[in-house]
């Protein structure tokens, strides 16, 4: 019994020792493999940090309206007799748009004009008698009063007749007719909309914190999207009262619209231009990485195993770019390899640098702390990077900076 126990114990010890030895051997092999494995070199695109002119702005959302725009209505009752315009037609000030049935008003006006003419003749006869001394002053006064009353009645009926015609109050583009021939209209019935699209205005609101930065005549840019703002204008009105419920300030700007691309009621994005600032450190937004610990960028420095430690990272990056540009497209006739690549390609090491950001505008972000002029930062390929990784530069393709052309 004891002999069997000893044999079993020895077998268990041998098996346990074999397992432990295998694990130690495997761990050592893995450690040596990763220790001797070369560090991969990743390819990134970069940008050099340089002081630039920063053009700040106030972003807002506005609604377009015509400088002159009304919904046309009739002033009196009547049946539509003529519609003298077509949808989206161009009309001039004073053009007749709609004519209502006016036969009764014309008849009343004709009767009043006849009576006015008779009263005028009576007045002239009374004056002639007065001059010859056979007429009384009382008869002359009565004749003058009757003539004046008749003339006023003619003017009243003429005004009533004019109300049977709807005229364009200003030049502009007429909208879709909202009436039909033979339709009976009442005062206030909307006939169509008339909009002058040559000059537009945009109404928008600004937070009360930016109220002090607004001025009359200040330039504005606007468009349908933030990266496309082709229209320019200026501020023509600033509400002196801040809305106590929203804490917003109402602002109005005037914009020329020669091609008619803007329409009343349209939603637009607005940027109010502010004075430019010089020597501002800014990087493309693609270079900035946001995390739970803060915002950071990847900054390049020369690899320690190359004889470039005395040169700044910006100079090394520019040298690498020049070397790459000079070797592209030049093939060696014997070997088929690009000429000038006998030496090793420039390699850099990246450092993760946390920065303090400021304002953002049109694809760029201001860096308040963390970077200085001349630093080279990665602007594409950050998702593969870690602190201390080795990289090489390839700036043949750069990420698109939305809106950079607008500044």
Q: What is the pLDDT of residues 20-53, one digit of tens each?
A: 888 888 888 888 776 666 667 888 888 888 888 8
| 251, 233 contact by CB (below 8 A) | no
Among candidates 373, 384, 369, 388, which has minimal Cα distance to 301? Answer: 388
Q: What is the pTM of this model?
A: 0.60
Backbone angles phi, psi at 120, to 5 degrees: -70, -40
Which carries the bigger pLDDT value, residue 320 or residue 108?
Answer: 108
Per-residue model confidence (pLDDT) at position 93? 92
Is the predicted pLDDT of residue 342 greater than 70, yes or no? no
Among candidates 61, 95, 271, which has minimal Cα distance to 174? Answer: 95
d(C-alpha 211, C-alpha 205), whole Å: 10
Is the predicted pLDDT of residue 115 greater than 50, yes or no? yes
Q: Is 264 helix (H, G, I), strand (E, B) or coil?
A: coil
d(C-alpha 101, C-alpha 97), whole Å: 14
Domains delineated in the chain: 41-55+277-323+344-398+402-406 (2.40.420.20), 57-100+174-274 (2.40.30.170), 102-163 (1.10.287)
């Amino acid at each position: 019994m004891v002999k069997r126990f000893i044999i079993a114990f020895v077998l268990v010890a041998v098996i346990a020792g074999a397992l432990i030895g295998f694990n130690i051997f495997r761990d050592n092999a893995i450690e040596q493999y990763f220790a001797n494995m070369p560090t991969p070199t990743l390819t990134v695109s970069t940008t050099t940090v340089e002081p630039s002119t920063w053009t700040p702005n106030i972003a807002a959302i506005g609604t377009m309206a015509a400088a002159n725009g009304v919904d046309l209505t009739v002033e009196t009752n009547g049946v539509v007799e003529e519609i003298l315009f077509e949808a989206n037609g161009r009309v001039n000030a004073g053009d007749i748009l709609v004519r209502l049935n006016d036969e009764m008003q014309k008849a009343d006006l004709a009767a009043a004009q006849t009576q006015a003419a008779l009263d005028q003749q009576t007045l002239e006869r009374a004056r002639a008698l007065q001059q010859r001394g056979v007429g009384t002053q009382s008869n002359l006064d009565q004749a003058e009063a009757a003539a004046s009353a008749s003339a006023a009645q003619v003017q009243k009926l003429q005004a009533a007749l004019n109300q049977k015609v709807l005229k364009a109050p200003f030049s502009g583009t007429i909208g879709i007719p909202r009436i039909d021939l033979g339709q009976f209209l009442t005062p206030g019935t909307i006939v169509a909309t008339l909009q002058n699209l040559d000059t537009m205005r945009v109404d928008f609101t600004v937070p009360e914190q930016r109220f002090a930065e607004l001025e009359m005549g200040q330039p504005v840019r606007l468009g349908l999207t933030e990266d496309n703002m082709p229209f320019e204008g200026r501020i023509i009105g600033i509400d002196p009262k801040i809305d106590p419920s929203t804490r917003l300030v109402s602002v109005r700007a005037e914009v020329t619209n020669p091609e008619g691309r803007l329409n009343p009621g349209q939603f637009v994005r607005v940027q109010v231009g502010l004075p430019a600032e010089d020597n501002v450190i800014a990087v493309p937004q693609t270079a900035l990485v946001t995390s739970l610990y803060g915002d950071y960028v990847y900054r390049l420095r020369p690899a320690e195993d190359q004889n470039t430690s005395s040169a700044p990272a910006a100079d090394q990056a520019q040298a690498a770019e020049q070397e790459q540009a000079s070797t592209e497209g030049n093939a060696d006739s014997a070997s088929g390899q690009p000429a000038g690549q006998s030496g090793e390609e420039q390699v850099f090491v990246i450092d993760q640098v946390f920065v303090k950001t400021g304002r953002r505008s049109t694809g760029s972000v201001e860096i308040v702390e963390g970077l200085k002029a001349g630093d080279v930062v990665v602007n594409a390929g950050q998702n593969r990077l870690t602190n201390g990784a080795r990289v090489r530069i390839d700036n043949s393709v750069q990420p698109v900076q939305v809106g950079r052309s607008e500044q």
